[in-house]
Amino acid sequence: MTRPIIVWLRRDLRLADNRAIIRAASAGAPVIPLFILDDATPGKWRAGGAGRWWLHHSLDSLDKDLHALGSRLVLARGKSIEVLPKLAAECDAAAVFASRAYEPWAGELEYELRERLADSGTEFRRFAGTLLFEPEAVKTKDGGPFKVYTPFWRAATAAVEIPAPEPPPQSLMAPREWPASDQLASWSLLPEHPDWAAGMRESWTPGENGAKKRLSAFLSSSLASYGEDRNRPDREATSRLSPHLAFGEISPATIWHAAAAALRRQPKRRAGYDVFCKELVWREFSYHLLSHFPAFPEQPFRPEFTRFPWNDAPGLLRAWQRGKTGYPIVDAGMRELWHTGFMHNRVRMIVASFLVKDLAVPWQAGEAWFWNTLVDADLANNAVSWQWVAGCGADAAPYFRVFNPVLQGAKFDPQGAYVRRWVPELARLPDDRIHKPWEASPMELRAAGIDLGRTYPHPVVDHSEARDRALAAFKALKG
DNA sequence: TGAAATGTTGGGGCG
DNA sequence: ACGCCCCAACATTTC
């Protein structure tokens, strides 16, 4: 029998438009789909709690899909650099196929893997597909990486034709004998004591099928108005594809081409389509930056920010994490995150600005919290976006841009529906008080059943004063 | 993918 | 009719 090909799956948990699987399937060899739970290689960036919940269900879903093709998913745990060569030797694998990864540790790992596998006569092949644009494919005039979004967008979309997505394989040849596999349940990826995942189960359908359904629902119902409505957390107007993308349950090329097709069907979707494409390419820009500046998750891109006088304030950080800052839009966002593993993008900007500027807590603390609590936690997006808000990143918001949580709330959640949903103790306040309960009269508070300081906190800082402090600190940094 | 302070304009009230 | 003031609405500048 022909020697098998191991398909090493990572954040590409899909069959459609997954070139590693598709090429292996058409090679005429048995295919061994493999997932390794490797907490050691990424170190502190191993998958967090919410991500582990998602991962469990995504792996479960992929295994079912593989069974429908006469195959299965083999599970192993340990360091990839040890597990893979060992398994390849055991199975006498001809090759290991994988989608390329872009995290700081990935390059060296893939290089070393190639060497070790070659020792035992196993070829190692990487495939594109995780990104629309490979980091090397987009260069400035002098051959360097882009540090500003708009020129990156122009250069990338002009230079690269995005190939059409490829259909999933119709069948996968099983090996004569399956290697031993862990039981998914034995990995304990799901929370037990306590089971905090109820809100996640209500909110999401992890897996390739869920991703496809989400995409078509979004394109048919929300693409047209995406440009205006995507900033409204009180509306279901964003794609909510981020966790599916983060786990590779759907490829960006699939989304790209499906959106273009939706535009062709209905040309009036143009405005929304353009904005949506820009958002997809922000993800590309994040990966572009991460791959050229691997310190991005740890260190400020603009080095002068290393000496910013951050506040060591565990109490304030905790109030932020738990959604008890006293600013309704901030608390609503943090509670949505805690409950569902997700937060609306506009609200992410508001809560991030509040942590970094109002509370002067280092952006890395917010990045770490998001890493653990977001189902769409993605190293590149997370690091680049936090630095963008903090003002120390590439093409970042200028440091003096400080969000006012009251004004942002009034502008993007005008009737307070989002706040009422996630901060129910404020639900009975009138619209013109919902984003600033401290300005409600004693009578209004009583009527709404609120005892400020007891049932809902006073603001942990005064925004106006905090803003002045932030501006002064940033100014000192500059001078 | 800001907010707040400051500057400008123009309509209306009024002497 | 006219100049003056007020101030909202909008624009520009600054942080």
Residue A272, token pair as written in the block: 């929304």
Question: What does CATH list as the number for A131-163+208-292?
Answer: 1.25.40.80
Average pLDDT, integer, range A150-164: 95
Whether any strand B atom is under 7 angstroms from the Cβ of A80: the reply reads: no
Whether any strand B atom is under 7 angstroms from the Cβ of A126: the reply reads: no
Which tops the pLDDT comparison, A228 or A129? A129
Q: How many separate helices (H) and strands (E) can be counted in chain A? A: 20, 5
Q: Which of A53, A363, A371, A388 is catalytic?
A: A363
Whether any strand B atom is under 7 angstroms from the Cβ of A400: the reply reads: yes
A130: pLDDT confidence band, cut at 50, 70 and 90? Answer: very high
Domain range A5-130, CATH architecture? 3-Layer(aba) Sandwich (3.40)
- In this complex, the nucleotide whose C1' atom is nearest to the CA atom of residue A278 is B1
The answer to whether residue A53 scores a pLDDT higher than 80 is: yes
Eight-class DSSP state of A53: H
Q: Which of A134, A279, A425, A444 is catalytic?
A: A279
The answer to whether residue A311 scores a pLDDT higher than 90 is: yes
Catalytic (active site) residue A381: no
A290: pLDDT confidence band, cut at 50, 70 and 90? Answer: very high
Catalytic (active site) residue A134: no
| Protein-covered nucleotides on strand C (Cβ within 7 A) | 15
- Going from N- to C-terminal start, the domains of chain A cover 5-130, 131-163+208-292, 303-478
Q: How far is the CA of A279 from the C1' of C11 (A)?
A: 30
Whether any strand C atom is under 7 angstroms from the Cβ of A264: the reply reads: no
Catalytic (active site) residue A404: no
Q: How far is the CA of A403 from the C1' of B10 (A)?
A: 32
Catalytic (active site) residue A386: yes
Whether any strand B atom is under 7 angstroms from the Cβ of A408: the reply reads: yes
- In this complex, the nucleotide whose C1' atom is nearest to the CA atom of residue A475 is C15
Q: Are A414 and A431 in contact (CB under 8 A)?
A: yes
Q: How far is the CA of A414 from the C1' of C6 (A)?
A: 31
Whether any strand C atom is under 7 angstroms from the Cβ of A475: the reply reads: yes
Average pLDDT, integer, range A219-223: 98
- In this complex, the nucleotide whose C1' atom is nearest to the CA atom of residue A149 is B1
The answer to whether residue A200 scores a pLDDT higher than 90 is: yes
Q: What is the mean pLDDT of chain A?
A: 96
pLDDT digits (tens, 9 = 90+) for A232-274: 999 999 999 999 999 999 999 999 999 999 999 999 999 999 9
Residue A199, token pair as written in the block: 């809100």
- In this complex, the nucleotide whose C1' atom is nearest to the CA atom of residue A402 is B2
Q: State the Cα–Cα distance between residues A312 and A128, nearest whole angstrom.
A: 42
The answer to whether residue A120 scores a pLDDT higher than 90 is: no
Whether any strand B atom is under 7 angstroms from the Cβ of A330: the reply reads: no
Catalytic (active site) residue A178: no
Residue A253: what pLDDT?
A: 98
β-pairing verdict for A123-127 and A5-9: unpaired
Chain A residues 6 to 65 whose Cβ lies within 7 Å of strand B are none
Phi, psi of A125 (to 5 degrees): -130, 135
Chain A residues 376 to 405 whose Cβ lies within 7 Å of strand C are 398, 400
Residue A160: what pLDDT?
A: 86
A397: pLDDT confidence band, cut at 50, 70 and 90? Answer: confident
Q: State the Cα–Cα distance between residues A186 and A312, nearest whole angstrom.
A: 38
The answer to whether residue A1 scores a pLDDT higher than 80 is: no
Domain range A303-478, CATH architecture? Orthogonal Bundle (1.10)
DSSP A180-217: P---GGGG--S--SS---HHHHHH---SHHHHHHHHHH
Q: How far is the CA of A405 from the C1' of C7 (A)?
A: 28
The residues, any chain, with a CB within 8 Å of residue A111's CB and separated by 6 or more, are none
Whether any strand B atom is under 7 angstroms from the Cβ of A238: the reply reads: no
Catalytic (active site) residue A282: yes
- In this complex, the nucleotide whose C1' atom is nearest to the CA atom of residue A400 is C15
Whether any strand B atom is under 7 angstroms from the Cβ of A407: the reply reads: yes
Q: Which of A82, A105, A110, A345 is catalytic?
A: A345
DSSP A286-309: HHHHHHH-TTTTTS-SSGGGGG--
Q: How far is the CA of A144 from the C1' of B4 (A)?
A: 38
